[in-house]
Amino acid sequence: MVIDENLVVELERRGIVTATFRKLSPAKKAAVYGAALSELAQAVFEKASLDRIAGAAGISKGSLIQYFRHKEGLFQFVAEVYLSEYRVFLEDYFARENAVRSIDRIRQFILGHLEYWEKGRGQFRFHLKLAYENDSGLTKAILSKIREMRLEYLKTIVRRGVETGQIRKDLEDSSVVLMLDGLLSYLERLAGELPTVSRSRQYLENLTDEFASGIWDGLKA
C-alpha cells in the first residue's frame, strides 16, 4: 500500500497534514495510515486511541500529533486516503470492464465490489464506519464524495442502458441509479454483518443474482 504523494501535498495545502508528515518516508506514511485505518475500523472515532495507533505504527504519540495537529486531522487524512483508494478501484474497474448488456454491467459492478470488500477488510470496515456513523461532521463531506463517485459510475451505466434501449425510459435516471445504489449499499451492510466476507461470498453472490433478476425483470408474476 503506497500513498499517493500528490494527495499528501494537497492535504498539506488544506492544512490536514503538516509538512513534517509530507517529508516522511513513504513506508512510514503507509505505516501510519495502516495503523490508523485498522484502529478506526475497530473503534468509533471518539474511542479510537492515539496511543494504540502510535504503538501500532511504531512511532510516538507526540509524532502523531505533530503530523496531524489534532486527532481529527488524522481521521480526515485516513478518510481522504481511503477515498483515493476507492477512486482508484473504481477507475481500474471501469478501465477493465467490458460487458455489453446493462444487466451484466450492473451485476458485475456489484460483484466487483464484493471482491473489493473481500480484499481489504480494514478498508471495508472503515468504509462502513464512514457510511453509517454520522457523528463527526467530518464524515459527511468525505462520505458524500464517495457516494457521488459511485453514483457517477452507476449513472454512466444507466444512461448507456437507456440510450441503447435496454433500460426503461419512463423512470428518471437518478431514481434508477439510487435504486441500484440502495441495493448495493444493502449488500454492503449485509456483508459487514456476516462473519467474514469470504466465508459468505457464495451467499452474497446468490443474493446478487436474485436481486439482479428481481430488479431487471420486475417482481410481478
Partner DNA sequence: GATGAATGAGCTTTCATTCAT
Partner DNA sequence: TATGAATGAAAGCTCATTCAT
Q: Which of 2, 27, 95, 193 binds a second copy (CB under 8 A)?
A: 193
Relative orientation angle of helices 71-96 and 26-42, to the nearest 10 degrees: 100
Piece of 17-25, 143-151, 188-196, 205-213 that binds DNA (CB under 7 A):
17-25
Q: Which residue's CB is nearer to DNA, number 9 or number 171?
A: 9
For cell 500529533, what's the residue? 65
CA angle 180, 185, 190 (to 5 degrees): 130
For residues 201 to 220, the per-residue mask of contacts with a second copy, x marking binding by CB under 8 A and - elsewhere, is ------x--xx-xxxxxxxx
CA–CA distances in Å: residue 90 to residues 36, 57, 94, 112, 170: 23, 28, 6, 9, 28
Q: Which of 17, 24, 81, 191 binds DNA (CB under 7 A)?
A: 24
Residues 114-133 that bind a second copy (CB under 8 A): 128, 131-133
Q: Which of 71, 121, 125, 145 binds DNA (CB under 7 A)?
A: 71
Q: How many residues does the chain have?
A: 221
Max CA distance (Å), the chain: 64
* C-alpha span between 37 and 81 (Å, rounded): 10
* C-alpha span between 143 and 13 (Å, rounded): 21
Piece of 68-76, 86-94, 114-122, 162-170 that binds a second copy (CB under 8 A):
162-170
62 makes contact with DNA (CB under 7 A) = yes
Structural Rg of the chain based on CA atoms: 19
* C-alpha span between 79 and 100 (Å, rounded): 34
Q: Which of 20, 134, 175, 206 binds DNA (CB under 7 A)?
A: 20
Residue 172 interface partner, choices a second copy, DNA, none, CB cut-off 5-8 Å depending on type: a second copy
Binding site for a second copy (CB under 8 A): 42-47, 102-103, 128, 131-135, 161-162, 165-172, 175-176, 178-179, 181-183, 185-187, 189-190, 192-193, 207, 210-211, 213-221
